[in-house]
Amino acid sequence: MKVVVAIDSLKGSLTSMEAGRAIRDGVLKVLPDTEVVVKPLADGGEGTTEALAEGLGGEMVYVDVHGPLETPVKAGYGWIRETKTAIMEMAAAAGIIIIGKDKRPLEATTYGVGEMMKDAIGKGCRNFIIGIGGSATNDGGIGMLTALGYEFLDSDGKAVGIGGGALKDIASIRTEKAMPELKECQFKIACDVTNPLCGTNGATYIYGPQKGVTEDLKDVLDKALASYAEVTKKCLGTDFAEYEGAGAAGGLGFAFLSYLGADLQPGIDLVLDAVEMEEAMKGADLVFTGEGRLDYQTAMGKAPVGIAKLAKKYGAKVIALAGAVIEGAEECNANGIDAYFPILQQIVTLDEAMDPERAKQNMTKTTEQIIRLWAAAR
């Protein structure tokens, strides 16, 4: 018998791999000869870096970089030496959570993202997996690109700056000083939005307000991004302004596409590919997945449903475990999850339920009973 375990983290309680190993323990208590494969799971958003770094045998690296408003922050990224791979989330250096209520879209920059990448390149990384959700920026990625050596100049040949307010002044772009190692790098970007760079469905109009873009600034910044795209097209010969995902992270998607030849993919697809999940599913009889809270949103394409769909491709049954099961979770049954269970063993406070040791025990005990039923039914 073969069992595959791929469960998302229980935020504030267990990492993806900790939860996975607890499930493995429950399986082996009943069927000690079972082949159990534990894989990390994330959807490309918060927690992806830690999940993949731990699951792929990497380590976390912390580096001091410029934050979105240039105040220094300590940003972490995953480093997998063997495959020369860096796993990053742009939000670690330029996330909206960093700035809190101090939202300044004309000044916010992705410069720190470029500094993280530069640090990883210096360590020998040539493969990048980068999530670009949760940004505080609307700079079209010029901050990141400037940190990597690209030059954005005004009509007088002077550097325009690194924030969203500098976009309107870009008259020419110089690439001569860009890091030569970039040509050796491959960039896979976790992007779950399909917005173009500009227009009423673009970066500024759709996502700008949550970053502090007021009504009077929408048209100004949108036109600035359009101008930046035109200059990019003229100087580089690339034309990605209308490409799906170009508007992600305030235009950072456009920068990755236009300047770094990146591949934009839905976060869950990128993660599943990175951990070779499909290969693991071959020959599986039973698959465990889940997350902290199972509800109707889970059924709308979150990581556990991605696992369920892949499992069904190979004929496996799918069980989901969760810290809590909320009304609407029954939608998961229509999306490949055969059955789901909360792991709580008794009534406790939220703090007690989220205690890591208690959560591991609950996960293992619940799994053990499921496997006993599985064994008896077979």
How does pLDDT run along the chain (378 residues), one tens digit per residue?
A: 999 999 998 888 898 999 999 999 999 999 999 999 999 998 887 788 988 998 888 999 999 999 999 899 999 999 999 999 999 999 999 999 898 888 899 999 999 999 999 999 999 999 999 999 889 999 999 999 999 999 999 999 999 999 999 999 999 999 999 999 999 999 999 998 899 999 999 999 999 999 999 999 999 999 999 999 999 999 999 999 999 999 999 999 999 999 999 999 998 889 999 999 999 999 999 999 999 888 887 877 678 998 999 999 999 999 999 998 988 888 889 889 999 999 988 888 888 888 999 999 999 999 999 999 999 988
Query: 55 and 170, same structural domain?
Result: yes
Phi (first) and psi of residue 175, to 5 degrees: -115, -5
Query: 251 and 131, same structural domain?
Result: yes
How far, in Å, CA of 22 to CA of 372, rounded? 16
Tell me the CATH number at 102.
Answer: 3.90.1510.10
Contact predicate 15/353, CB 8 Å: no
What confidence score (pLDDT) does residue 363 get?
Answer: 96
Query: 284 and 247, same structural domain?
Result: no
How far, in Å, CA of 246 to CA of 280, rounded? 32
Q: Which two tokens stand for residue 345?
A: 């063993």
Of 268, 287, 302, the residue at which a domain comes to its end is 268
Query: 173 and 140, same structural domain?
Result: yes
| CA 368 to each of CA 24, 26, 355: distance values in angstroms, whole numbers, following the listed order | 9, 4, 20
What confidence score (pLDDT) does residue 301 get?
Answer: 67
Q: CA angle at residue 84 from 8 to 4, to 5 degrees? A: 30
Query: Which DSSP symbol is given to 287?
Result: E
Query: 105 and 207, same structural domain?
Result: yes
Query: 257 and 310, same structural domain?
Result: no
Q: Which two tokens stand for residue 141?
A: 């990625």
To the nearest 10°, the Cα dihedral for 137, 141, 146, 150? Answer: -170
How far, in Å, CA of 365 to CA of 69, rounded? 47
What confidence score (pLDDT) does residue 351 get?
Answer: 85
Residue with tokens 């990390």: 40
Query: 368 and 222, same structural domain?
Result: no
For the chain, the domain total comes to 2
| Reported pTM | 0.87
Range of the domain at 54: 48-268
What confidence score (pLDDT) does residue 348 get?
Answer: 81
Q: Which helix (H) or strand (E) holds 290?
A: strand 286-294
Query: 332 and 357, same structural domain?
Result: yes
Query: Which DSSP symbol is given to 218?
Result: H
How far, in Å, CA of 246 to CA of 228, rounded? 13
What confidence score (pLDDT) does residue 352 get?
Answer: 84
Of 221, 245, 268, the residue at which a domain comes to its end is 268
Q: CA angle at residue 59 from 54 to 65, to 5 degrees? A: 120
Distance in angstroms between the alpha carbons of the first and the last residue of the chain = 12
Query: 37 and 57, same structural domain?
Result: no
What confidence score (pLDDT) does residue 33 get?
Answer: 96
Tell me the CATH number at 371.
Answer: 3.40.50.10350
Of 268, 293, 312, the residue at which a domain comes to its end is 268
How far, in Å, CA of 20 to CA of 48, rounded? 15
DSSP codes, 173-196? EE-TTS-GGGGG-EEEEE------
Sign of dihedral through CA atoms 333, 342, 49, 55?
A: negative
Query: 63 and 20, same structural domain?
Result: no
Query: 283 and 144, same structural domain?
Result: no
Residue with tokens 């499909």: 278
Query: 178 and 323, same structural domain?
Result: no
To the nearest 10°, the Cα dihedral for 250, 256, 257, 262? Answer: -140
